[in-house]
Amino acid sequence: MSTTMSTSPHPEYMDLFYRFPTEAEAREILADYLAPDDSGALQWLTSGDGFALDLIGPLSDVIPSDDPEAEPLILPLPGWHLNLRTWGNHVAPETGRITPDHPRRVWA
């Protein structure tokens, strides 16, 4: 089921979180959010009619060391991430959508 929003009487926002195995898969599923640049290469659209897109990419956990002189341990987390804010009658894709308990990045 797709998500739609009503614009009456004021726009309501819906913040959605996505995770894909790779950016290539995200591009395939979310092709409507891509447009060619001047050279013809497809680039992400960061905003448009009824949406704003926050490209995050890979995430990682940083685990500090008990030794103040040691570097922290950086553990990559699975997936390629982005956030999508929708309003109005924008229809958001279901594929790749997740519901994190504690999102690492949210809209201001």
Q: What is the pLDDT of residues 22-67, one digit of tens each?
A: 999 999 999 999 999 999 999 999 999 999 999 999 999 999 999 9
Q: What is the pLDDT of residue 10?
A: 41
Amino acid identity, residue 97?
A: R
pTM of the model: 0.81
Q: What is the pLDDT of residue 11?
A: 57
Q: What is the pLDDT of residues 30-42, one digit of tens each?
A: 999 999 999 999 9
